[in-house]
């Protein structure tokens, strides 16, 4: 019954929320074009070659479109399912190494952590990467377990190799670099070079290449320019520079971790403290030390990067959840109650803070949208408070299992309510609403320009691409390969516009005012707080 409740909460808002932000638009549109064109080798965004990421998630989402149709939930189904798969593998490794109770608690911690649960319901590529790195982590932990026989170790190491391969197909070479670096560091620190013989490097390498090589060969054969852009620009330059304008200070991920691990923050500190005291001193494989090294190295790796986004540290959460889960299996109830008390106070603070969110209102996000959002925010804060009170009461009574379950369900539900609340802002963050208004004007032959902007969610909702005008951004490399796919200058666009009998264009309010002042004839079709869509007026 608890599993069914958790699954209902996990999947309940996938369709409700409109696609928003850059990532959700981008990663819903690329597979839509793939499914529509039938070209499953070359990814395209807005009809333009797009080589920033590998194709695994595009294939999965395009397949969901083919089977079920193009909806919000089919666009988001891959991160949701891979998030669940990561929880499952965390349970498996916890149960096999530390017992079923520890496995259950580890899975509960992971599924209810704010960052992990939240990112499983936002359309990016990071959850797929985190999932398959979790598969690799579980495979390595169980494959190197000295208590298992050789056959079982070999099977799990091949699972790890497959996890690395699918991680590479999810987001690139990071899928093999991170696990390889952690294993190497573990061997060097422990000076246990015998593990090299246990890794089955030849057969695992063959399996890894069998999974990854076909697509990389096919896309490079079809697009000779792919290799340099993907391997040099998107890996080496991205990590060592601020080329993508995502620079953040070295401590950027510290507050992300503090907020992202809620509601288990204080339990995490306690678990880490106990873990360092329980490390094995001998050379026998130590899964606890491996988990600490996994989380610590990945955290440090991305902290040193010139490009940072909050979701980059998702792969450390399964290891942290395992450490916390094993600690919860032995914790005293009253101690857990004390650790959850500050989280209950956070719920009280949330209830007090919600009315002040309307002060964030601006011309682009009007106050009425924030007022609509407050209902979900109140529900989230109240859910957190009530869930923590139940967990604290259970802990004081010595019922640790009940406390963990209450805390986990409260954390998951609170996160889902926070994610769901964003839909109230969708008139500003998504083009869903404006796309419905312009559908009567759409037909396949109508030119549709996107002037000095690219609204990521618009092509998905109007089921067609647009022609970029004086805008390149992330599509710059693709436009260099196929320059005929865009209009490079505003002057050329205005010439085309005056000659078109029936055309549409989307632009910011500022660009509209500029063109209007220049005397370009435009008829307003639809507008919202951030963008406006116009058409060519009828010729006399």
Per-residue pLDDT, 187:
93
361 has a pLDDT exceeding 80? yes
Spans of all domains in the chain: 82-330, 333-427, 432-535
pTM: 0.94
CB–CB of 54/170 below 8 Å?
yes
**At 238, is the pLDDT very low, low, confident or very high (cuts 50, 70, 90)?**
low
**At 451, is the pLDDT very low, low, confident or very high (cuts 50, 70, 90)?**
very high
Q: What is the mean pLDDT of residues 90-117?
A: 96
Range name among 247-251, 275-279, 490-494 with the lowest pLDDT average = 247-251
Per-residue pLDDT, 197:
86
CA distance 414 to 379: 8
Average pLDDT over the chain, rounded to an integer: 93
114 has a pLDDT exceeding 70? yes
Per-residue pLDDT, 308:
85
Q: What is the mean pLDDT of residues 510-530?
A: 93
**At 250, is the pLDDT very low, low, confident or very high (cuts 50, 70, 90)?**
confident
Q: What is the pLDDT of residues 179-199, one digit of tens each?
A: 999 999 999 998 888 888 889
**At 70, is the pLDDT very low, low, confident or very high (cuts 50, 70, 90)?**
very high
Please tell me the total number of residues recorded for the chain in this structure: 540
Q: What is the pLDDT of residues 500-519, one digit of tens each?
A: 888 999 999 999 999 999 99
CB atoms within 10 A of CB 7: 11
Looking at per-residue confidence, does 4 or 330 come out higher? 330
485 preceded by a cis bond (ω within 30 of 0): no
Range name among 304-313, 338-347, 425-434 with the lowest pLDDT average = 304-313
Per-residue pLDDT, 540:
58
80 has a pLDDT exceeding 60? yes
Per-residue pLDDT, 242:
53
CA distance 50 to 73: 23
**At 339, is the pLDDT very low, low, confident or very high (cuts 50, 70, 90)?**
very high
472 has a pLDDT exceeding 60? yes
Q: What is the mean pLDDT of residues 353-369?
A: 92
Per-residue pLDDT, 6:
85
**At 4, is the pLDDT very low, low, confident or very high (cuts 50, 70, 90)?**
confident
Q: What is the mean pLDDT of residues 229-248?
A: 66
Q: Tell me which residue has tokens 């037909």.
A: 443
Q: What is the pLDDT of residues 20-50, one digit of tens each?
A: 878 999 999 999 999 999 999 999 999 999 9
CA distance 513 to 264: 50
Per-residue pLDDT, 64:
97
Q: What is the mean pLDDT of residues 274-297?
A: 88
Output the CA torsion sign for 211, 217, 223, 228: positive
244 has a pLDDT exceeding 60? no
3-state secondary structure of 45: strand
CA distance 214 to 222: 12
Per-residue pLDDT, 279:
80
358 has a pLDDT exceeding 80? yes
239 has a pLDDT exceeding 60? no
| Angle formed by the axes of helices 126-143 and 287-303, nearest 10° | 150
Per-residue pLDDT, 22:
85
CA distance 205 to 70: 37
Q: What is the mean pLDDT of residues 69-80?
A: 96
246 has a pLDDT exceeding 70? no
445 has a pLDDT exceeding 60? yes
**At 148, is the pLDDT very low, low, confident or very high (cuts 50, 70, 90)?**
confident
CB–CB of 336/319 below 8 Å?
no
312 has a pLDDT exceeding 80? yes
Tokens of 173: 């070479």
Per-residue pLDDT, 192:
85
């Amino acid at each position: 019954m608890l599993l069914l409740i958790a699954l209902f909460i996990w999947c309940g808002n996938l369709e409700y929320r409109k696609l928003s932000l850059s990532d959700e638009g981008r990663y819903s549109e690329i597979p839509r074009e793939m499914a529509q064109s039938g070209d499953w080798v070359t990814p395209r965004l807005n009809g333009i070659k797009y080589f920033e990421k590998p194709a695994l998630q595009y294939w999965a989402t395009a397949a969901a479109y083919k089977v079920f149709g193009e909806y919000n939930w089919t666009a988001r189904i891959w991160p949701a399912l891979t998030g669940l798969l990561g929880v499952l593998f965390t349970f498996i490794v916890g149960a096999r190494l530390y017992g079923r109770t520890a496995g259950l608690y580890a899975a509960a911690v992971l599924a209810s952590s704010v960052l992990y649960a939240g990112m499983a319901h936002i359309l990016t590529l990071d959850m797929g990467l985190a999932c398959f790195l979790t598969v690799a982590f579980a495979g390595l932990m169980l494959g190197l377990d000295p208590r298992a026989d050789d056959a079982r170790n070999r099977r799990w190491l091949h699972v790890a190799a497959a996890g690395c391969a699918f991680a590479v197909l999810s987001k690139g070479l990071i899928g093999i670099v991170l696990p390889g670096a952690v294993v190497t560091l573990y061997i060097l620190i422990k000076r246990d070079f015998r593990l090299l013989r246990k890794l089955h490097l030849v057969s695992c390498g063959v399996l890894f290449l069998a999974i990854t090589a076909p697509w990389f060969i096919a896309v490079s054969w079809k697009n000779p320019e792919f290799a340099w852009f993907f391997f040099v620009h998107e890996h080496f330059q991205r990590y060592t520079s601020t080329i993508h304008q995502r620079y953040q200070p070295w401590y950027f991920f510290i507050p992300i971790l503090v907020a992202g691990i809620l509601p288990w923050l204080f339990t995490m500190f306690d678990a880490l403290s106990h873990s360092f005291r329980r490390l094995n001193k001998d050379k026998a494989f130590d899964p606890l030390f491996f988990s600490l090294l996994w989380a610590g190295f990945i955290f440090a790796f991305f902290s040193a990067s010139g490009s940072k986004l909050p979701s980059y540290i998702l792969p450390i959460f399964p290891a942290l959840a395992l450490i916390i889960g094993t600690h919860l299996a032995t914790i005293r109830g009253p101690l857990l109650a004390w650790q959850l008390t500050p989280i209950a106070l956070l719920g009280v603070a949330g209830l007090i803070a919600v009315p002040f969110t309307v002060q964030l209102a601006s011309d682009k996000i009007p106050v009425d949208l924030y007022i609509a959002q407050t209902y979900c925010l109140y529900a989230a804060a109240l859910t957190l408070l009530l869930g923590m009170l139940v967990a604290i009461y259970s802990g004081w009574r010595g019922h640790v299992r009940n406390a963990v379950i209450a805390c986990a369900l409260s954390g998951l539900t609170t996160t889902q309510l926070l994610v769901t609340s964003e839909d109230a802002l969708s008139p500003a963050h998504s083009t869903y609403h404006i796309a419905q208004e312009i559908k009567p004007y759409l037909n396949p032959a109508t030119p549709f320009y996107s002037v000095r902007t690219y609204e990521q969610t618009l092509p998905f909702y109007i089921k067609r691409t647009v022609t970029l005008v004086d805008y390149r951004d992330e599509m710059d490399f693709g436009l260099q390969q196929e320059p005929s796919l865009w209009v490079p200058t505003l002057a050329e666009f205005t010439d085309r516009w005056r000659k078109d009998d029936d055309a549409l264009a989307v632009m910011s309010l500022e660009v509209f005012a500029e063109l209007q002042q220049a005397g370009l004839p435009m008829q307003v079709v639809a507008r919202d707080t951030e963008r406006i869509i116009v058409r060519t007026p009828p010729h006399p």
